Amino acid sequence: MFDFVGRSRRLKAASALAAPLRGRFAAMHPVERAVVLVLANSLLVATGRARGSKVVTAPAGCTPAEIDLAVRDMASLRDSVVSVAEAGGDALMRTHANCTAAACDLVAASLVMPSEPSIRPGVLSAWKTVWESRDKLRPAVVWLRRREAATGRPVFLPKADGSQQNDLEIIRNSDKVPGFLRPAPATASSAAKTPSAGVRKPAR
């Protein structure tokens, strides 16, 4: 998808992912945005396990081929859930598919962003939009549990040891944005020049 010759084609593909995200999330119900936040963070963990932690912690240091594999994973999952929902799913399935597809696109755009800085504003704005619905994480988890009950299939990624996350763990692990999107902490020299430099955790 992104591992091809020609920066212009790569940028066009990345921009197509990132450009509509903020408007798409803004049109969602706050609980749906929180569902996207849960799913996106879960997908990042799953991608790190499948493709190596560096892909989701320091994608700028990865090769285009490494990022391409992760982006293809997102595209494959996105197409799969959308096709199932379009084949005759109920309202619950369609909403879940829509949120999953949105999370896949958000993760894909985030992983591509370090190599395509022009899409950074759109990606950051999209994460900000979903993260601002973090106060709805609890009802989002409840909604996803309903989805689990309806299908009989797990929605949440198990922990590394194979055990299942409880709801509080899911909420805690979802209340975040990828570390590589945050500004790097200021060095001693820059902090001396700019006392306010560094990362601040937004107030709840």
Question: In b/e form, how buried is each residue of 177-192, taking b as 16+ CB within 10 angstroms?
Answer: bbebeeeeebeeeeee
Residue 190 CB-half CA count within 13 A: 7
Position with higher pLDDT, 15 vs 138:
138
**Is the confidence at residue 27, as pLDDT, over 50?**
yes
Question: Looking at the predicted structure, is the pLDDT value of residue 191 above 50?
Answer: no
Whether residue 158 contacts residue 152, with contact meaning beta carbons closer than 8 Å, is answered with: no
- Residue among 164, 181, 52, 174 nearest 111 (CA): 181
List, in sequence order, every beta strand (DSSP E) within the chain: none
Range with the poorest average pLDDT among 20-24, 129-133, 192-196: 192-196
Cα 172 versus chain centre, distance: 15
Cβ proximity of 46 and 77 under 8 Å: no
